Amino acid sequence: MSAVIIGDGLVHYEAIGRGPPLLFIHGWLGSWRYWVPTMEELSIEYRTYALDLWGFGDSDRLDGHYDVESYVTLVRDFITTLGIKPPIPLVGHALGAVTAVLLAARHPDMVSRVMAVSLPLLGETLNPRLSNQGGSIPIDRVLGRRLPPEYEPVRVEAIKAEESAVISSANSVRGLNLSPKLARIQVPVLLVHGERDNVVPPPQAERLNGLLGTGSQIHFITLPSTRHFPMLEEKAKFNRLLRDFLVTDDLDTLQLKEEWRRLMR
């Protein structure tokens, strides 16, 4: 286990692989741990990092630091403290996706591209259970189904999270409209959403108007029959999509290949 002191607390993180840096940021339900399959896959080509945000996983519990603004500052300081040379690509999920988008908008010199998974374009669309019950509610109830055994690490980490960290961070996002922030980002952004995500429902088409189109730096892909954890539910497809995104200069060419679609049915 690796850790670094940032500000007033200890931040837990893990790093795997060699090569250019790639940073993963977790969401409300869990910790760095659910990124492990993706990190292991991408570590062949990248030095992959994942940290636990304040109040999650094995990072310190710091009252007053459980809002998205504090997490943007934390990730910025994490990159600087570890001496990771920017700009770097970010992969964020839910809360982590919001953090990555805001960091890219405010510190464009630090970020080379962003994959935002389950990004709430409008914070008000978040499942209200995140704000009402935080980590005290069983994760399978939030997701609307019983989880298979391989999800046990996610369940354990979700329960382990500081309840006030889940509730406060969800409330800090609930009033946001991220479309204007996305429009200002000058690096490639890939929005990935599970078609059946009921924690952060997919954005309606009208919310994407003005963000997408030929020549846009923003691209949107929906994963059929997938819920809130595409990196676990469709590991091979997710990892392939991420790998393609990291090396492409033309987002218009990014798509789920037809053979992937057949496998996902």
Using one digit for the tens of pLDDT, what is the confidence trace for 104-145? Answer: 999 999 999 999 999 999 999 998 888 776 555 566 666 656
CATH number, domain at 130? 3.40.50.1820
- Residue span of the structural domain in which 30 resides: 2-264
pLDDT the model gives residue 138: 61
Using one digit for the tens of pLDDT, what is the confidence trace for 27-46? Answer: 998 899 999 999 999 999 99
Domain count, the chain: 1
pLDDT the model gives residue 195: 93
- Mean pLDDT, residues 175-181: 91
pLDDT the model gives residue 169: 95
Residue 256 pLDDT grade (very low, low, confident, very high; cuts 50, 70, 90): low
Answer whether 0.85 is exceeded by the pTM: yes
pLDDT the model gives residue 41: 97
What is the C-alpha separation between 155 and 170, in angstroms, rounded?
19
pLDDT the model gives residue 264: 41
Residue 210 DSSP code: T
Residue 1 pLDDT grade (very low, low, confident, very high; cuts 50, 70, 90): confident
- Mean pLDDT, residues 43-71: 96
Which single residue is written with the structure tokens 């204007």? 180
Residues contacting residue 157 through CB under 8 Å, at least 6 positions apart: 30, 31, 33, 34, 56, 57
Which of 226, 168, 169, 219 shows the shortest CA–CA distance to 201?
A: 226
Residues contacting residue 152 through CB under 8 Å, at least 6 positions apart: none
What are the angstrom distances between the C-alpha of 124 and each of 166, 176, 199, 245? 15, 8, 12, 29
Does the bond joining 153 to the residue before it have cis omega, within 30 degrees of 0?
no
What is the C-alpha separation between 42 and 19, in angstroms, rounded?
10
Laid out side by side, the sheet with 189-194 consists of 2-6, 9-16, 47-51, 21-25, 88-93, 111-117, 189-194, 218-223
- Mean pLDDT, residues 49-64: 95
